[in-house]
């Protein structure tokens, strides 16, 4: 799984969060180099800030869409502007997270968007599939 992060405030931290759940991540703080990168690389997920030093995240997402990339987009911002919400809807942005947000939530959302589920432990597996086959005092049975 591949992800691109475009954020001028917390790009390294957001990239690290995605890497912790299994993504290979490219991190950018400016629009121009990120645009150059999507010319040669496709991504499963993009985490994009709205306000950036050399442009805005909406224009980056528009470029992704116009290039035909099937990238799932998560728009992040500390600002709440109705026009941005409208434009994000027009571009079919999958999620919008208002800063500050829980970084673990970002990892979970990114995995959900690509249809992946990470299982780190037996407890996670039981949580995901249920445990009707596990009964105290009895050997495990298959459903």
- Whether residue 134 is predicted with pLDDT greater than 80 in this model: the reply is no
- Whether residue 75 is predicted with pLDDT greater than 70 in this model: the reply is yes
User: At 119, is the pLDDT very low, low, confident or very high (cuts 50, 70, 90)?
Assistant: very low
- Whether residue 6 is predicted with pLDDT greater than 90 in this model: the reply is yes
What pTM does this model have? Answer: 0.78
pLDDT in tens, 80-98: 777 777 788 788 899 988 8
**Is residue 49 within 8 Å of 7, Cβ to Cβ?**
yes
Cα 19–Cα 24–Cα 27 angle in degrees, nearest 5: 80
Give the mean pLDDT of 68-75.
94
């Amino acid at each position: 799984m591949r992800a691109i992060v475009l954020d001028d405030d917390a790009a390294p931290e957001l990239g690290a969060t995605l890497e912790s759940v299994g993504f290979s991540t490219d991190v950018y703080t400016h629009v121009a180099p990120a645009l150059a990168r999507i010319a040669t690389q496709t991504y499963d997920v993009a985490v994009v800030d709205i306000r950036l030093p050399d442009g805005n995240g909406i224009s980056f997402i528009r470029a992704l869409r116009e290039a035909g990339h099937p990238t799932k987009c998560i728009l992040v911002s500390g600002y709440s502007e109705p026009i941005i919400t409208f434009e994000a809807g027009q571009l079919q942005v999958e999620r919008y997270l208002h800063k500050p947000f829980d970084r673990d939530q970002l990892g979970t959302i990114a995995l959900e968007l690509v249809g992946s589920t990470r299982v780190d432990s037996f407890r996670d597996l039981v949580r995901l599939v249920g445990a009707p086959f596990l009964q105290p005092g009895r050997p495990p049975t298959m459903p």
